[in-house]
Structure 1
């Protein structure tokens, strides 16, 4: 079992504090959904867990160990994968080359997203937004990460592909944390832990079925 957590975490961007002592835990294998409007702090939570922004206070804990001072590249080596909302693929490389960076065996990714098969020789930067999200998540499937952090995973996808994506993320043998503006309909009937943020603070934490409508 893998767990990542923030304890009394504070993050500042210049004079502005984006997280005000946030405490939350994401257990795995399983899905945790961070909810909040733009500016709520959900993206900053993902970045803090990944180590791409520094804490000004508090701690990041992974499987009971304080990793606050561990750099992002080392967290990646230990099995953490961050898929940001933007620039999640290498645009100058082809789809095939993007996948090759993770594994020479592409079948699991292409079986999950068969739409990518005819695009293997295309440069990733020429793909649509939804196709780029599929490619970024395909790389996650090949990486077999222990912790997966994804900011708005289905942006630009068609409803059927989005539903398939949530199914794939829910089925990973990993601690999966996704950031969304609102709880997706596809997840309302699935086991998921939900944390709602507002203005840099947690205002709700519980099972998806307990979330106020």
Structure 2
């Protein structure tokens, strides 16, 4: 089993602190979801796990080893794969060339997303947002990574393709951590671990079912006071 965690992690962008002592732990094989609106710190938490942003405090621990000072490329070499929300494909290269950069055979990619086969000669920068996400995700599916981090995996996808994407991610023999704004419908009622962040602080941790039950009791509209 693989485990990766942030322990009391703090991240600063200049004078602003984006994470205020965040502690999260993800276990694999399995799926962990970091929830939050834009500015909540979920993307920063992913980047901190990947080593693409430095901690100003706290630690990143991977299988019991402190890797806080290990640079991003070394974490990648050890089996960590990050799929960012933006600039996740090489727009000037064709779909085929993008696939060839990450695998000697792209059968896995085409099995996962058959639609890519008719797009092989297209430049990646001309694809729709959902098609680019499919192409970006093939890297995670074919990498045989121990830890897979994905920011908004289903962005721009149809509900059917989004459900397929989560089935693929859930089936990986890896510790998978995704960042989303809300719990994906396909995960409702399933044993996924959820952390909700707000303004750089964890405000909930537990199973997806617990989170759904909790949010169902929240007020849906503004309240008034005399």
TM-score, length-scaled by structure 1: 0.98
Q: Distance in 2 between matches of 1:106 and 1:117?
A: 10
How many residue pairs align between the two structures?
A: 213
**1:13-28 correspondence to structure 2 within 5 Å:** 13-28=13-28
Q: Distance in 2 between matches of 1:110 and 1:190?
A: 27
**What corresponds to 1:91 in structure 2?**
91
**What corresponds to 2:219 in structure 1?**
none
Unaligned 5+ runs, structure 1 = none
**1:114-129 correspondence to structure 2 within 5 Å:** 114-129=114-129
Q: Distance in 1 between matches of 2:64 and 2:194?
A: 21
Which has the larger Rg? 2
DSSP 3-state at the match of 1:99 = helix
In terms of mean alpha carbon deviation, does 78-87 or 184-193 score higher? 184-193
Deviations 1:126-164 (A, max 9, x none): 111000000001121111111010000011111110110
Alpha-carbon offset, residue 180 of structure 1: 0.5
1:45 corresponds to 2:38: no
Q: Which runs of 4+ in 1 moved over 4 A?
A: none
**What corresponds to 1:191 in structure 2?**
191
Q: Distance in 2 between matches of 1:193 and 1:175?
A: 11
**What corresponds to 2:220 in structure 1?**
none
**What corresponds to 1:57 in structure 2?**
57
**What corresponds to 1:203 in structure 2?**
203
Alpha-carbon offset, residue 189 of structure 1: 2.6
Alpha-carbon offset, residue 4 of structure 1: 0.5
Unaligned 5+ runs, structure 2 = 216-226
Q: Distance in 1 between matches of 2:81 and 2:111?
A: 21
In terms of mean alpha carbon deviation, does 172-181 or 188-197 score higher? 188-197
Alpha-carbon offset, residue 105 of structure 1: 1.1
DSSP 3-state at the match of 2:102 = coil
**What corresponds to 1:135 in structure 2?**
135
DSSP 3-state at the match of 1:166 = helix
Alpha-carbon offset, residue 184 of structure 1: 1.2
Deviations 1:41-72 (A, max 9, x none): 00000000000000000000000000000000
Alpha-carbon offset, residue 103 of structure 1: 1.1
The two structures, once aligned, show a CA RMSD in angstroms of: 0.7
**What corresponds to 2:218 in structure 1?**
none
DSSP 3-state at the match of 2:20 = strand
Alpha-carbon offset, residue 190 of structure 1: 2.2
Q: Distance in 1 between matches of 2:103 and 2:53?
A: 28
**1:156-195 correspondence to structure 2 within 5 Å:** 156-195=156-195
1:33 corresponds to 2:33: yes
**What corresponds to 1:144 in structure 2?**
144
